[in-house]
Chains A and B, each alone.
Chain A
Amino acid sequence: MDRRAFLQAMAASLALAGTGCRGRPPHGIISRVEGTAAVEVEWFATVMPSEGYGRGIVVRTNHGHPTKVEGNPDHPESLGATDVFAQAAILSLHDPVRSRTPRHAGNPATWEQFAEAWEIRRTRFRTNSTPILAILAEPTTSPTWLRQIHALLDDFPSARWYQHAPLGSHSHRGHLPEFDLAQAEVILTVESDLLYRHPAALRHGRALAGRRLSEPGKPLPPRFYAIEAVPSVTGAVADFRLPMAPARLSAILPAVDRCLRDPAAAPGLEPAADGFVRDLADAMRRARGRVVVSAGPACNDRIRDWSDRLNLHYGRDVVRWRRDVRSDRNPRCHGGLADLAAAITVGEIDTLVVCGLNPAYAAARDLRYGELHARIPFTVHLGEHWDETAMLSTWHLPEAHFLESWSDLRGAGGIASIQQPVRLPEAESRNAAELLHYLRSGTTAGSETLVRETWRAAGANDEDRWVSWLQRGIVDEPMHGDEFVTPPEDGTAELPPSVGKADGLSALFTPDPNVLDGRWSANAWLQELPKPLTQLAWGNAILLSPALASRLGVQNGDVLRCSTASGELDAPAWTMAGQADNTVALSLGYGRRSAGPLASGLGYDANLARSAESPWHTAVLALRKTGGHALPVCAQGHFQMDGRDLARVLEPAIASPALAPAHRTSLYPPRAGGNPAWGMSIDLSACLGCNACVLACQAENNIPVVGREQVARGREMHWLRIDRYVTGDPAQPRFVAQPVPCMHCENAPCEVVCPVGATVHSSEGLNDMVYNRCIGTRYCSNNCPYKVRRFNFLDYGGDARAAGGANPRVTIRERGVMEKCTYCVQRINAGRIAAEVAGRPLRDGDVRTACQQVCPASAIVFGNLADPASEVSRRAASPTSYALLDELNTRPRTTYRAALRHPPRP
């Protein structure tokens, strides 16, 4: 092309570009056909499955889009709080990689084609008893599902029902102990994450926090003891924590028994354990009748018998037993995964239907489940994702999300709730009860019909009653079998003495705190959330104690090869203070092969070294360095403020002097306080460090996900972070979790350095961030001593705009703009507007921030500091209240109350 032709082309394209301009596109506004005009905000009460148990939630929809999950205050298993998973559920609902279409041998197919394939088999199962149909599902509490499976077992003589609980069970011999932590004086947990991974965890958290929130004249909080190998959320908030390998429990627990019988007896253990056991036995004797002992799912039957016996003898006022409402021990169930594997091996199973589980990935690899699954002639997988099991199945069917379908669930305490959908499903999908109904009858029935049918005897036909169940989120009908039971006391009163060698290296398999057994792998919020205690994100590591790491000469990130009798795996090492010596912790849920673009290939698969025989711990045959190095992504060092007295710990019995120092002088003119003067108080005694507030903030404020690589660069966007402090001896340290939002300083250092006035002070004490003024100098972030400001480097919010779950009341920030905690100013404005429209003043509690609302422990309180009667004023005025980095005289509106932990008895 010569110069002339080039210029001609340029001129022509310029002219053409001009003709294409048509001004701004018009914005539409809709008149709906009928009904009421669009309602801005609606709340729906429903229930969320958590390992088969139900937890009450309410879902907020904005203009019909589900945008936020909150706890249902009327539901006894929620009490208005949620865990991280309920917060993350809203992202899963809008997940674009969720399975949307049935697949036959991996190719997209239709439900009609599945119906054709099934109809032949159905007639055969109905009449013949030889080809065996097996159903594999997680144990559940859903009356509708159980009704369907029972009907199917009745109709199909050849059908068998297998259950598999990948995360274990908290019930023992069919009974679930119910703890009244609000009345307990001594709490002992043995490998039990009572406050984080327990069907009643939210209830426990609220009760314990109620005792720990310091008030003048209140009785002392309970003494909390934890024996565990790997630090858990629960162990980290205990007063006393004994890191102990599971193999050593058989020495420790009999020592507790001995010391309980005879106060003068010597436990005869190593010094740390010796003091712990003496102190524990002493406290238990003093508090006889009000002792709670909880042994977790990883404990063997003997230890759980032992804990039941201690509860019977020492906890009669605070422990009761319920018949477990989950179907683990249902008499019609044919067995577990191992039984199914045995049946497949002998070629008995002709057809297998897997409901919701992913055993091809999540089962111990020595079971070789994947190979067995592929051997069955006809397999059906119902699941939300195209996962490892789906890939091996003849048919994969998309499962309806729990927010898109009807069901019913019961809480750990027995209360039943109806699960109602909050929107129509995006694709044709069915839930497990619908599928079972279809498999049996060959006809489709909507999930609502099935649920109503289940509850007809209780009065579901009465429309008023039905609607009231839905509105409250609980069914106020007593259920059969709700009465408390007494577990038969085990004849063998004594624990047998130590078995097995205690000094060998053992591997512990722990469900990942964020993705559990991999069921939450596809959720970006949970992947990016720094895990409690390790602060790792987007992956897992082999955790080992500092002493073991130094013995092996291992640095963080060195790749280790860990061999057990079942297999071996390579994974990076990570030292964990407070972990029992001679243990390595392998976390489940990673090393996925088919978990969508987010999670496939992240981390290592611990199932490779796991045995089905002993799923929670096994002996390590060899542990050595491979020479490789792969540093996991950890948020611990990001946004550091170390080296100052930041997270303070006090003893509850001592009337401490006020922590808040006298008022300091300042060069800046004093600011008018304003009324309301918004402020926040965070109680470190109550805080569990469960991360629910971090995700609640993320959901409420449209906080983007940045991905693994960007987190490694310290660019995560969480407005609220939880700092973890580990103090004392690394072998037996003390953990403190400290949530850090924006402090909303009255003398805010960020405001004076902004060249464009993008961060300014409001009359009510908020440190406002005006996104449209911000030019991205990042001076404010540099000048912030608390490191709470986040910079959007790469337009991370782009995806949030496309997804449906964004909160329309909060701006989605652009690239190049600084952002940070606003004290949920959209909620402040909504609360104020509601009060003004109603013509009443704003009351304490009208405005609740997202982090405050979700907190199971009521650790966070927000309100008006100018009102001396408000809850936040009362907390901020208490003697244990202090400000972070007070010496800088920033006068933060967010203050903390010191963590109270019992000292050992002298």
Chain B
Amino acid sequence: MQPEAQSQVPVPRRSLGQAATTALRVGIAALVMLAGGIAYGVFQYFHSSYWTRVGLAEDQPVLFSHRHHAGQLRIDCRFCHASVESAAFAGMPTVATCLGCHRQVLTDTALLAPVRRSAELGVPLRWTRVTRLPDHVHFHHGVHVSRGVDCGVCHGEVARMALTAKARSLDMRWCVDCHREVAPDAGGREPAPTPTAAAGHLTNCSTCHY
């Protein structure tokens, strides 16, 4: 080994060739676009009705039509959803409520067979939930209805739905938009800039999350 001799040899400056550089640049650009594309795709996925279920009717054991009952027959929402004015849960009608009318009308239609079977066997009727909030959100129907929020604000025009579908995404931005607007103490209709600056409690985190 001769260290001196080695140090005299100039180390060649290594660089990529023209083609490799181009390939690298194209590759980087492709990666960025791919990442952007994935991000866009994910964003679109979570805003798509496939994820939010907005406008998609769920499979139900009985082909119940709100358009017929609430629209054409003009039955009040509260006739079936009885606790909507006082409780957190709007309330589902009991099978006895359904049969209260359907013992007189449409008594033997095949459509209502699951309802009759439920009453005969004493087994509750299990519907598929259309509107659902995440577990860490505490929503109270009573306080919204008593404060004059119409059912349709959140549930859409149920009276025109043959098959019931979710009408709004019910994401947090959508809730908070409304809370900022109607907060009685927040100073008119101006949205409060930050939660803590709002005098009203409606934009506190703990109004819904606890």
* A493 surroundings in chain B (CB, below 8 A): none
Contacts A809-B138, A837-B143: A37 and B86 contacting too (C-beta < 8 A)? no
Q: Which residues of chain B have C-beta atoms less than 8 A from A555's C-beta?
A: none
With both beta carbons as reference points, the residue of chain A lying nearest to B130 in the complex is identified as A29
User: A822, B210: Cβ atoms under 8 Å?
Assistant: yes
B94's contact among A27, A33, A761, A836, by CB below 8 Å, is which? A33
Is A658 interfacial (CB 8 A cutoff)?
no
Q: How far is the CB of A772 from chain B (nearest CB, A)?
A: 6
Binds A, one of B12-20, B31-39, B101-109, B194-202: B194-202
Q: Is the CB of B201 within 8 A of A764?
A: yes
B187 contacts the other chain (CB 8 A) = no
Q: Which residues of B contact A770 (CB under 8 A)?
A: 205, 209
Residue A839 interfacial (CB < 8 Å): yes
Given contacts A829-B138, A837-B86, A837-B146, contact A33 B122 (CB under 8 A): yes
Q: Say if the beta carbon of B173 comes within 8 Å of chain A.
A: no
| Closest-CB distance, A703 to chain B (whole angstroms) | 14
What is the distance, in angstroms, from B97's C-beta to the closest C-beta of chain A?
Answer: 8
- Chain A residues with CB under 8 A of B86: 837
Nearest Cβ distance between residue A818 and chain B, in whole angstroms? 14
Bound together, the chains give a CA A37 to CA B58 distance in angstroms of 22
- Within B106-128, the residues touching A (CB, 8 Å) are 118-119, 122-128
Q: Give the residues from 698 to 745 in chain A that come closer than 8 angstroms, CB to CB, to chain B.
A: none
User: A28 within 8 Å of B by Cβ?
Assistant: yes
The one of B94, B129, B203 that contacts A34, using a Cβ cutoff of 8 Å: B94
Contact of B119 among A28, A33, A809 (CB under 8 A): A33
Q: Which of B83, B89, B93 contacts A31 (CB 8 A)?
A: B93
Q: Determine if B204 is an interface residue (Cβ-Cβ < 8 Å).
A: yes
Given contacts A763-B198, A763-B199, A837-B85, whether A829 and B98 have CB atoms under 8 Å apart is: no
Contact status B146-A836, CB under 8 Å: yes
Chain B residues, CB < 8 A from A28: 126-129
Is residue A826 contacting chain B, with contact meaning CB distance below 8 A?
yes
Known contacts A37-B83, A37-B91: A30-B210 contact under CB 8 Å? no
B128 close to A27 (CB less than 8 A): yes
Q: How large is the interface on B (under 10, 10 to 19, 20 to 34, 35 or more residues)?
A: 35 or more
Q: Which A residues touch B140, using CB under 8 A? A: 829, 833
Q: How far apart are the CA atoms of A486 and B93 in the complex, in Å?
A: 62
Task: Tell yes or no: B82 within 8 A of A by CB.
Answer: yes
Q: Is B54 an interface position by the 8 A CB rule? A: no
A657 near B: Cβ within 8 Å? no
In the complex formed, the residue of A with least CB distance to B53 is A24
Q: Does B44 reach chain A (CB closer than 8 Å)?
A: no
**Do B126 and A768 touch across chains, with their CB atoms under 8 A apart?**
no
Find A30's partner among B85, B92, B198 (CB 8 Å cutoff): B92
In angstroms, Cα B58 to Cα A28, docked, is 11
* Interchain nearest-CB distance for B138 vs A (Å): 7
| Minimum CB–CB distance for A761 against chain B, Å | 5
Q: Chain A residues near B128 (CB, 8 Å)?
A: 26-29
Q: Verify B210–A36 contact, CB threshold 8 A.
A: no
Once bound together, how far apart are the Cα atoms of A349 and B59, in whole Å? Answer: 67
**Contact between A822 and B88 (Cβ–Cβ < 8 Å)?**
no
Q: How far is the CA of A33 from the CA of B83 in the complex (A)?
A: 17
**CB < 8 Å neighbour of B127 from A31, A40, A760, A768:** A31
Report which residue of A33, A34, A764 has the largest number of chain B beta carbons within 10 angstroms of its beta carbon.
Answer: A33
**0 or 1 for each of B66-92: is its CB under 8 Å from A? (1 = yes):** 000000000000000011011111011
Chain B CB within 8 A of A810 CB: yes
B177-207 contact mask (Cβ, 8 Å, vs A): 1 or 0:
0000000000000000001101111011111
A834 → B minimal CB distance (Å): 9
Is A498's beta carbon under 8 Å from chain B? Answer: no
- Asked if B142 is an interface residue, CB under 8 A from chain A, the answer is yes
- The answer to whether the Cβ of A825 comes within 8 Å of any Cβ in the partner chain is yes
Q: Check: B96 CB closer than 8 A to any chain A CB.
A: yes
Answer whether residue A32 sits at the interface, using C-beta atoms and an 8 A cutoff.
Answer: yes
Taking the nearest CB of chain A, how far is it from the CB of B46, in angstroms? 12
A763 and B196 contact, CB distance less than 8 A: yes
Is B162 part of the contact surface with A, judged by Cβ < 8 Å? no
Query: Residue B135 at the A interface, CB < 8 A?
Result: yes
In the bound complex, how far is the Cα of B52 from the Cα of A781, in angstroms? 36
From A29, A763, A809, B200 is in contact (CB under 8 Å) with A763
Q: List the A residue with the shortest CB-CB distance to B123.
A: A33
CA distance A71 to B140 in the complex (A): 27
Q: How far apart are B203's CB and chain A's nearest CB, in angstroms? A: 8
Partner of A36, one of B94, B125, B126, B199: B94
A671 shortest CB reach to chain B, Å: 8
Per the bound structure, the CA–CA distance linking A811 and B91 in Å amounts to 22
A1-37: contact bitstring with B at CB < 8 Å (1 yes, 0 no)? 0000000000000000000000000111111111111
Q: Within the assembled complex, what's the spacing in Å between the Cα atoms of A33 and B100? A: 12
Interface readout for A664-675 with B: 1 if CB under 8 Å, 0 if not? 000000011010
CB distance from B17 to the nearest CB of A (A): 33
Chain A contributes a number of interface residues (CB within 8 A of B) equal to 41
Q: Determine whether the beta carbon of B210 is less than 8 Å from that of A810.
A: yes
Given known A27-B129, A28-B127, A32-B124, contact A762–B143 (CB-CB < 8 A):
no
Q: Which residues of B contact A803 (CB under 8 A)?
A: none
Q: In the complex, A764→B86 CA distance in Å?
A: 24
Which residues of chain B come closer than 8 Å to A34, judged between CB atoms?
A: 94-96, 119
**CB <8 Å contact, A27 and B205:** no
B130 to chain A, nearest CB (A): 8
- From the candidates B98, B196, B201, name the one contacting A760 in the complex (CB within 8 A): B196
Q: Does A766 sit within 8 A of B, measured CB to CB?
A: yes
* Cross-chain contact A763 with B147 (CB below 8 angstroms): no
Contacts of B205 in A (CB 8 A): 760, 762, 768, 770
| A38 interface residue (CB < 8 Å to B) | yes
Known contacts A762-B205, A763-B204, A822-B210: does B143 contact A37 (CB below 8 Å)? no
Q: A37-B82, A829-B138 are in contact. Are A836 and B147 (CB under 8 A)?
A: yes
Are A762 and B98 closer than 8 Å at their CB atoms?
A: no
Please determine whether A29 and B127 come into contact, CB atoms closer than 8 angstroms.
yes
Q: How far is the CB of A762 from chain B (nearest CB, A)?
A: 4
Contact of A825 with B127 in the complex, beta carbons under 8 Å:
no
Are A31 and B58 in contact, CB atoms less than 8 angstroms apart? no
Q: Could you say which residues of chain B place their CB within 8 Å of the CB of A378?
A: none
Closest Cβ of chain A to B146, distance in Å, is: 5
Q: Shortest Cβ distance from B41 into chain A, in angstroms?
A: 17
A455 at the B interface (CB under 8 A): no
**B-facing mask of A822-861, CB < 8 A → 1, else 0?**
1001101100110011010000000000000000000000
Given A764-B204, A836-B143: A811 touches B210 (CB 8 Å cut-off): yes
| With known contacts A28-B129, A809-B138, A763–B201 Cβ distance under 8 A | yes
Instruction: Please state if A31 and B92 are interface contacts (CB–CB under 8 Å).
Output: yes
- 1/0 per residue A354-398: CB within 8 Å of B? 000000000000000000000000000000000000000000000
Flag whether A771 is at the interface (Cβ < 8 A): yes
* Contact of B127 with A771 in the complex, beta carbons under 8 Å: no
In the bound complex, do residue A768 and residue B206 qualify as a contact, i.e. CB atoms below 8 Å apart? yes
Do B88 and A826 touch across chains, with their CB atoms under 8 A apart?
Answer: no
Q: Is there contact, CB below 8 Å, between B136 and A771?
A: yes
Sample (28) of A-B pairs whose CB atoms are under 8 Å apart: A26-B129, A27-B129, A29-B128, A30-B92, A30-B125, A30-B127, A31-B127, A32-B92, A32-B94, A33-B95, A33-B118, A33-B123, A37-B89, A38-B91, A40-B89, A760-B195, A761-B196, A762-B195, A762-B205, A763-B199, A772-B209, A811-B210, A826-B210, A833-B140, A836-B143, A836-B146, A837-B143, A839-B146
Known: A28-B129, A30-B92, A37-B89. 7 other contacts (CB 8 A): A26-B59, A31-B93, A31-B124, A761-B196, A762-B201, A763-B201, A768-B206
> A: which residues have CB within 8 A of B?
26-40, 671-672, 674, 760-764, 766, 768, 770-772, 809-811, 822, 825-826, 828-829, 832-833, 836-837, 839
Show the binding face of B for A, using Cβ within 8 Å.
Answer: 58-59, 82-83, 85-89, 91-96, 98, 118-119, 122-129, 132, 135-136, 138, 140, 142-143, 146-147, 195-196, 198-201, 203-207, 209-210
Counting from the closest, the 9 A-B pairs by CB-CB distance are: A762-B204, A34-B96, A37-B91, A27-B129, A31-B125, A768-B206, A29-B129, A26-B128, A833-B143
